[in-house]
């Protein structure tokens, strides 16, 4: 018997202004996308922006439904759109921002487990890492060099 240790290293930027300019402009796209979220039930709006290796930018936001489980997170809205419109493009970077209409969101909001699994599929498919940056409405921005870094012991095609 032995223990295994799983470690991830993340980078934390103190605020939006510390971001490199290309990431700041991708984050601006996510902020714009967040404004169009359809979130009448949770009042929690999420925006996502994806940069592809063909230089296209795809954005998405959460889309809720009166039948709650039928709604979809921003990350999956964006990534499935990217996969459907640009099936041969690689996803290079993804920025995420979330904010509540009820109280100000100052902590970085990471992608939920289901979205990590969905993003992981594309990272495995394209055999190159997807950089992910996530924040609240304001405050710190967290960067992960890859999705795998956020999903230890992930399930992928190699197990099938």
CB of 53 to ligand THU, least distance (A): 24
3-state helix, strand, coil in the chain (%, to 5): 35, 25, 40
**70 in Cβ contact with 38 (< 8 Å):** no
Of the candidates 23, 58, 62, 133, which one interacts with ligand THU according to CB under 6 A? 62
Instruction: Write out the binding residues for ligand THU, residues 131-160 only, by CB under 6 A.
Output: none
Residue 64 interacting with ligand THU (CB under 6 A): yes
Burial of 63 per CB tally in 10 Å (0-12, 13-18, 19+): middle
Residue 130 interacting with ligand THU (CB under 6 A): no
Point out the catalytic residue in the list 18, 64, 75, 137.
75
Using DSSP's 3-state secondary structure scheme, residue 58 falls into: strand
**Site stretch for ligand THU (CB under 6 A), options 18-26, 38-46, 49-57, 137-145:** 38-46
CB nearer ligand THU, residue 20 or residue 113: 113
What sections of 19-66 are H helices per DSSP?
A: 21-35
CB nearer ligand THU, residue 41 or residue 155: 41
State the Cα–Cα distance between residues 28 and 96, nearest whole angstrom: 10
Binding pattern to ligand THU, positions 15-34, x when CB under 6 A?
--------------------
Angle at 80 between CA 118 and CA 135, to 5 degrees: 65
Rounded to an integer, what is the distance from CA 125 to the centroid of its chain?
Answer: 17
Residue 137 annotated as catalytic:
no
Contacts to ligand THU by CB under 6 A: 39, 42, 44, 46, 62, 64, 71, 73-75, 111-112, 115
Catalytic residues: 75
């Amino acid at each position: 018997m032995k223990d295994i240790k799983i470690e991830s290293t993340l980078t934390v930027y103190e605020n939006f202004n510390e971001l490199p300019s290309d990431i700041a402009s991708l984050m601006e796209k996510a902020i714009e996308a967040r404004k169009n979220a359809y979130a009448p039930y949770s009042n929690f709006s999420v925006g996502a922006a994806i940069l592809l290796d063909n230089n296209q930018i795809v954005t998405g936001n959460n889309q809720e439904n009166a039948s709650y489980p039928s709604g979809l997170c921003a990350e999956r809205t964006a990534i499935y759109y990217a996969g459907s419109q640009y099936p041969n493009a690689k996803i290079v970077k993804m920025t995420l921002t979330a904010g509540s209409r009820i109280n100000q969101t100052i902590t970085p909001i990471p992608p939920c487990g289901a979205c990590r699994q969905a993003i992981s599929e594309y990272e495995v498919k394209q055999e190159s890492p997807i950089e992910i940056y996530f924040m609240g409405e304001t405050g710190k921005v967290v960067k992960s060099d890859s999705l795998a870094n956020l999903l230890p012991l992930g399930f992928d095609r190699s197990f099938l």
